[in-house]
Every structure is written in C-alpha cells, then in structure tokens.
Amino acid sequence: MAILDNFKRFNEKVSTGFEWFGLAAFLLMMLLTTVDVIGAKLFLRPVDGSLDLMMILQLVAMSLALGTSYITGRHVQVEFFTPLLPKLVQRINRCFIRSLMLLLFIVMTWQLFVYGNDLKLYGEVSSTIRIPLYPFTYAAAVAFIPACLAALAKWIQAIIEVFKHES
Amino acid sequence: MSPETTGIVGIVVLLVLFMLRMPVAFAMAFVGFVGFAYLNGLESALTLLAQDIFETLSSYPLSVIPMFILMGSFAYASGISQRLYRTCYSWFGQYRGGLTVATVLACSGFAAICGSTAATAATMGGIALPEMKKYNYDDKLATGTVASAGTLGILIPPSTVLIVYGLLTEESIGKLFVAGIIPGALLTVFFVLTVIILCMRNPELAPPGPNTTIMEKIVSLGGIIEAILLFLLTIGGLFLGWFSPTQAGSIGAFGAFLIGVFRKKLEFRRTIGVLTDGLRTSCMVLFIIVGAAVFGHFLAISNIPFILSDWVGSLPIPPMAIMGVIVLIYFVGGFFMDSMALIIVSIPIFFPIVLKFNFDPIWFGVIIVMVGEMGVITPPVGVNVFVIKGIAPRVPLQVIYMGILPFLGAIILLTALLLIFPQIATFIPNLMYS
C-alpha cells in the first residue's frame, strides 16, 4: 500500500506540474484573443496567425489538464445507481470501469503519438502561419501520460479493494 | 449484426456504462470506438479516435467554450455578484419576501455575465443565504429560491449550454443568445411572482428586512454598473458584429479579470485558483465533446439517427406530440444526468427529428435548455441542490427539494408556454436577423 500511495503522490505531482503549463496556455488564449481584438479594432493590426495559435494553445491546455481533472474527479458521472448495489458488487464494478478507463487512456495516448507521426510524415501545417502541427500532437500525447498513470493507480487501488473485501 | 442492430446495442451499452459510473465523456468515446471498430475495422477506428481528439481539442470554434467559462469564473471571483445583490437588497429588502426577490433579481443579473447554473447558485447562495437566515426567512423558501434562481445561468445569455448546442447543431450562437433573453426575463418574473404568492399565503415565511433611504437606494445602483458594462461589451459586441463568439468570451473574461484586479479581489493565488477551476471545467466539457464526436461517428455509420427520424416521421401522430415526447425524454433524462452531457449525448439522435418536422432549431435549443434547468434542481442528481447543501449544510436535502417545488412549477409553466407560443423565443432572433 505504501508503494501505491507513493505512486499516487508521484502522479499528483506530475499532473499538477503539467497543469501549470496548461494554465499558462489557457491564460495565453485569453490574452492573445484580447490583444488580437484590440489590435484589429483600434490599430487595424491584428495578431498574425491568432487563429492557429488559439487552436494550438487550446489543444495543449486541455490535454495538459486531463490528468488533474481525472484525479480530482471533475468528469461528469451518473451517480444514482451504483450506491444502490451491494458493497462487493460496487467494488467489482469500480474495478471493471477503471480497467476500461485505463485501456481507453492507453489507446488514446498511443494513437496520438501515431497521429503525430502521420502529421509529420505528410508535413501537415497550420492554415495561416504554416506552423508544423506534429510537435503539438506529440505534446498532447505526452500530456495524456499522467492520466494513464492516474488510471493505472486507480485500477490497482480498485483491485486491492476487491481482494481486501473478500479476505 | 447489421449496422442498425449494432447501433442499438451501442446505445444500450452506453446507457449501462453510464449507470455503472463510467464518466460520460469516456463512456461515449469507448462505445463509439468499439462500435466503429466492429463496423469498419480496428485500423479505421484507431485513426478516428486520434483524429477526433485532435480535431476537437484544436477546434477554433470550440474555443468559445473555455473563454465563456473563464469569463464566468472571473466574474464569480471578482465580487460582482455581491454588489449586484447589495443593490437588489437595498431596493427590495425592506418588503416581506424582499430578500428572496432580491436574490432572484441578482441571480438574473449575474446570469447575464455567467453561463453556469452551479456558479450562479454558489455565488448567490454564499451571499444571500446568511442574510435570509439573519432575518429569519424560512429555510425551505431561502434554499429553494437560490437553487432555482441559479438555473437562470444557462438561459440568460451568455449560456454555456446554448453555446455547446449551437456548435453541435451549427446554429448561430448569437441567435441562440438573443432567443434566451425573453424566456430568461419571463422566468425571472415568474420566480418573483412565485415568491410573492408564497409570501402572501404565509407571511411568516419571509419577514421584512431593514429599511433603506432613497439616497441609499440610488447610491447602491453603482453596484450594477460593472455588470451592465460587461454584459453590453460582450453580448452587445457579439450582436453588433464587433466580435466573433470566441472574441466576445475572451474580452468578457479579460474585462471580468480587470474588474477583479481593480476591486482587489484577485491577488495571485486567487487568480491561479480561478484559472485552475476554469481550465478543469473546460477540459471536462471539451472531453465530453470529444466523446460525443467519436460516438456520433459510430451512430452515423450505424444509420440509427436517419432510421429513427424516418420512423418517427412515419408515425400517425401530430408533430407537437412528438415534440412533447422528446421534451419528456429530456425531462426524465435530466433526473439522472448533467444537462450539458445529456444535450451532447442526445443531439445526434434527436436533432434530425427536429429538422424533419421543420421545428425551429433555435426554439428547440431554448426548449431543451429550459428542460435542462429542471434537471439541475430535481433529484437524484440536482447539481444546484448539492451546491446549496454545501453552503447550508444544516438544511436537510429534502427541505431544499421541497423548497424548489413551487419554482419547478414556474419552469414547467414557462416550458409549456414556449411549446404553445414559440414566438416567445423566436421573436427577437427573427426581428434581428430577418
């Protein structure tokens, strides 16, 4: 259990660290658009490629926040049914759902890397300022890793809870 | 299995995963991915998954969502709500039930700069409940009012639910926003009338508060100036074509941030807290849209939405009865699911039916937001009720739910009026955009 607790603490630290970069990207989204609007309306000088930059910043910000939002349970769930089940069934169900989550996160992360490779191979760039898109896809894939680790920790925890109950 | 059968099985499995507490976003992505792989092969499903994640998270039109969420978070933290409440309190507090009327009006004002029901209920609950307790207001009335009036957050523009609906159905966000104005104003009036009727029937529910002089009343009006300016700048700018929706949200967020800094409510630590909250909420919403995109692609190749709309179209019942059934499904669904998630999940299924029967999509958007409002105050997952319970832990949940009942009646009445008279929602958009 001590190992699992250490692993969870490590995950939290990594996810929080990633989220700090996500916060910077999120703040930049607001500032960039504000500067773009003021520049365009008052000085007739919009920010070049602001649309492309917004897209990239959003991709990075949301991906970087996935770990903490998953750890802190921010994702919407339907919560009325499972509390009605017997405790052991609840624990087995938790184990089942968390294994699906872990599987899904691993597939999403792996496929984002593959997608990044494809974008690199075909030389895909953003539409106005022609920035290559593959580095940001790789960044998004890396940003998903804390969510995978958190899902792994939650899955191990769920398995331990099932066996603890049985013993 | 045929594509149609696979589609139906997919919907059933999705509902089962929801019941088993898999987060809505990831349940949709999982079922969509597995269903797509079954119908089109694993290779194309893997590509689709990555493509939907990338295209949704990097979509410029979707960036309107994080910006309006951030605007709401900054407005929440910058103390605008307190000043709005103080103004309404100065004008109505001395009358019987005046504090509850002030709460409804302040919620309505705050809803004009914040698109979230929970944020509106939380911010007003924190301010209004202690005041109402001080003047011996009935717990049922006090908590029921705040929880219900908080729902105005998703009807009065800017509304995050209307933004998501507009993006999913490719309807104009500007039109949807103006369509929410009259229903939002009417619902505010209905809530005020509900309070007045309750207080007339039982004067003990809400004793009068302290008197204020006319000078105090006039001075208090200063408290609503910044909210009005922020509303005019963002929503006005959007209607006048100065800004795109994303730009309006960003300008609004920046304006709310400046107000917070100017009012010394947003020091560094608090600003980080607000940003973190806004980022996590945005992440949650955008991942629901990622899940809906994957699930929507699966549904599309299963042909379910088209078959369903053709089947419903062939039924020998009037279109309005079909609309009634759709509203009923949303109403029941709202008991168990977050309104935003419910709308995102169901739009690919119901929207083709709406178009098939030539219902106005703008009007339909307002209707489902109204029904979504009921969902946030009805058991077992009434988000606003839990928010109020968090602020007033000594008040039992059943007391809050009982307090909500008269206001729920007001929402149902307005929904019925909207079904009978669609012009309530469509009048302004038709006038402005004709």
Note the pLDDT tens digit of each residue in B301-343: 888 877 877 787 778 888 889 898 888 888 888 777 777 778 8
**Residue of chain B with shortest Cα separation from A68:** B280
Tell me the two tokens of residue B409: 């009646």
Contact criterion met (CB < 8 Å) for B24 and A115: no
pLDDT at A121 over 90: yes
Residues of A in contact with B59 (CB under 8 A): 55, 58
Q: Which residue of A has its CA nearest to B60?
A: A55
* Range A30-43 average pLDDT: 93
**Residue A60 and residue A23 in contact, taking contact as beta carbons nearer than 8 Å:** no
Say if the Cβ atoms of B24 and A76 lie within 8 Å: yes
Report CB contact under 8 Å: A58, B63: yes
- In contact, B230 and B113? CB cutoff 8 Å: yes
Q: Which residues of chain B have pLDDT under 70?
A: 380-381, 434
pLDDT at A165 > cutoff 70: no
Annotate B266-290 with b (16+ C-beta within 10 A) or e (fewer): beeeebeebbbbbbbbbbbbbbbbb
The residues near B130 (Cβ < 8 Å, ≥ 6 apart) are none
Question: H-type helices in A43-78, by residue range?
Answer: 50-71
Q: Tell me, what's the pLDDT at A16?
A: 94
> What's the pLDDT band for A167 if we cut at 50, 70, 90?
low
B-chain CB neighbours of A27 within 8 Å are 275
Inter-chain CB proximity B29 and A34 less than 8 Å: no
pLDDT recorded at residue A166:
60
CA distance to partner chain B, nearest, from residue A3 (Å): 26
Interface predicted TM-score (ipTM) of this complex, two decimals: 0.95
Q: What is the pLDDT of residue B146?
A: 92
* Contact B20/A at CB under 8 A: yes
pLDDT in tens, B262-285: 988 888 999 999 999 999 989 988
Given B21, B57, B276, which is nearest A140 (Cβ)?
Answer: B57
Q: Percentage of chain A surpassing pLDDT 70?
A: 98
Q: Is B314 helix (H, G, I), strand (E, B) or coil?
A: helix
Least confident of A20-24, A163-167, B303-307: A163-167
Say what the pLDDT of residue B319 is.
Answer: 87
Of the candidates B247, B257, B275, the beta carbon closest to that of A23 is on: B275
> How many other CB atoms are found less than 10 A from the CB of residue B409?
12
Here the tokens at position B329 are: 């499904």
Mutate to test the interface with A, among B21, B290, B295 (most CBs of A within 10 A): B21
Q: How many C-beta neighbours within 10 Å does residue B301 have?
A: 16
Q: Could you say which of B21, B53, B287 has the minimum Cβ distance to residue A77?
A: B21
Q: What percent of chain A has pLDDT over 90?
A: 73
Instruction: Specify the amino acid at residue B65.
Output: I
Chain A residues with CB under 8 Å of B57 CB are 58-59, 62-63, 140
Angstrom distances, CA of residue B34 to CA of A105, B39, B187, B293, B344: 14, 9, 43, 14, 19
* CB contact residues (below 8 A), chain B span 162-221, against chain A: none
